[in-house]
Structure 1
Amino acid sequence: MQRIAIVSQKGGPGKTTTAVNLAAGLALSGADVLVVDVEPQAQAGTALGTRLDQSTLHLSLGLKLQLAAQGMPSGLEDVVIDRTEILAKWPNHGRLALLASEQRTMVNAQHILHAAGKERTHVLGELLDSLDEDFDYAILDTPPAVEALNAVSLAASDYALTLCLPKHATVEGAVAMRATIKHLPGQATQPKPKYLGAVLNMSKPVSEWKEEEIEVRDLMVDAGLLPFVTDIREDTRISRSYDAGVPSVVGFARHACGKRYAELLREVLFRMDTPESEWQIAPSASEVLEAKEDSVV
């Protein structure tokens, strides 16, 4: 099972929508995919039409993490929630499943992991090992980098990608996140995750670029964030998909937002399988604008 963490230094850049759309896209292609919701706000579950309540609290990944952090690990098979029904109208799909979060249990897990320190950093990875033969991919929706839950998510992952919005502060956060990934202590059994690049989320078409978006696009290239060529445009269908519990790549597969997530997935898979020297990197905004001016002339 290949594990991909969607990470950022702070909340808000679109980790959840990116995670569930990549996961659903993989499942549409025939893969068996597990979404791992490590975020106390439990947004990945909501985006897949699932909310834990008192009657289903025993299914929270937070409870499993609490036990593992205290040296009492158990398997995850009994808390996997199947969401393959989301893909029902599409032929030849694989499996889509969820390890769900719940705020109180996940916050408690966060406190226990923080107190346990580095000794328990690999508990999530060890838990996911119990599902290694059941899934082709795991997509981890993570909390902000300041939390211990982020550290255990990265330690459990083979790959990581981060996100920016057309805001200066998000570029600084992505640079810090890449540095965090670069300096993670790797082990022979679980090396540090491979950094895949940064996605620009909630972007505008070229004709609507404002000064800040132009500067952000330039900064993403100049700062070595290796931005993906495919950006995710601002689109109300994405928030509607979240509310409906059906990712855009499924519910709006024939619309621009669904197609962009599908194209982003193709880039992610290519970068996973090839060395960085072969990646196509998004051009800077300055290069795009200069090319546009030249074509007019």
Structure 2
Amino acid sequence: MDNTAVNRRPLRQVAGLIKLMRPRQWVKNGFVLAPLVFAGEFLDPSSVSGALLAVALFCVASSATYIINDARDIEDDRRHPTKSRTRPLAAGTVSMPAAMVLLVLLYSALVAGWFAAPGVVAVILVYMVLNLAYSFSLKHQPVLDIFTIAIGFVLRVYAGAVALDVPVSEWMFVTTLCLALYLAAVKRRQEISQSGNEGRKVLGSYSVALIDRYAEMSATGALVFYSMFVMESRPELVITVPLVLFGLFRYWYVVEALEGGESPTDALLSDWQLLVTVVLWIGACAWSLWPTAAA
């Protein structure tokens, strides 16, 4: 046997385990930082460290849920035109025993995190229970599947608030819910368009026209509630409203014209205009709230 191939096998296994944790999807955990920004705490070192710890713990938890989901869906993923090649368990690049060892390590990290941030981990436990229900049942229930995904984003924002021990505006929660519903609806739309109902059984209960209405309603709600949040709680952020509107328009363009959106993270990272919009939004928020933070 070729010694080079033997030596590369452990490296491929490690690469597969890293891919199994889906580090690209950790971008979603940026929602945890929303309270840090809107509470004007981003100049306080202790607040920043607490928020970053919450992000790290959510990354661990989300990776653990991805492993469970991939293990549960391994047969369906093997029939999927894309996931059969990109999911390590379905593609056979990672063995099931190795995945279970990694899962135990991730759970151990969360147990350790409990001693550093018990409130955050308590929220994460709710998130993980919700995702277990999603993996084994809710993902097959029309409408409930989309709302389950969206609630996960709301829990991220709540965890960020718990990490800082600050209240969160109700407008922020409902804005997050609508934005997450929009992203989840678009994800389902692209799955239907690109692979029909082969990848997920629940897709047979939807149509592109129905999902489009869900997405349009959610995007409108996100814009309206964000604007109301700004006007009521943070009027200095009014300059960010056009950026949010452009981001929604551009994301829909990426979905419709460029056939992206099955993975919101991939759509964001692959489109420079979306990336620039997010960076400008973060910069505008920081600039607008800087006097509050400095005070």
Same fold (TM over 0.5): no
From the two aligned structures, give the one with the greater helix fraction. Answer: 2
- Relative contact order: is structure 1 or structure 2 higher (C-alpha 8 Å, sep ≥ 6)? 1
Q: TM-score, normalised by structure 2?
A: 0.32
Q: TM-score, normalised by structure 1?
A: 0.32
